[in-house]
Structure 1
């Protein structure tokens, strides 16, 4: 696949954005009192947010990799 270098850079930046922004959000979620019930088990609140962050980071990584590959293979 071939993309103009500018679009490859946009993909790389979008991917990096996801990889930078989501981990601090997850750390805040893990500290949130709604993340665990009285017995310390994970709640749906935690699981939903964990899945949201996981999927977003996987897509961010894929986006960055696609951007890098299109930039290199130009």
Structure 2
């Protein structure tokens, strides 16, 4: 159970560190906004992917806590 929890916490930490930094780069990319400043599909798709990754990070933390508590 401890190994499972450690892996889940490492996964959550990786996602919490990497994806917000990736968002900063995507948001600055010229493809992120059109000439009127409106978000393009490029930005929208990446925001959705980042949101999913961060939701999975939260799920990993919750599952890691459950693993430590012996729920698995």
The answer, yes or no, to whether TM exceeds 0.5 is yes
Q: Does 1:18 align with 2:15?
A: yes
Partner of residue 61, structure 2? 64
Q: TM-score, length-normalised on structure 1?
A: 0.88
Runs (5+) with no aligned partner, structure 2? none
> Partner residue of 1:36?
33
Give me the CA root mean square deviation.
0.9
Q: Which runs of 5+ in 1 are unaligned?
A: none
Alignment deviations for residues 12-70 of structure 1 (CA, whole Å, 9 cap, x no partner): 11111111110000010000000000000000000000000001111111112210232
| Count of residue correspondences | 70
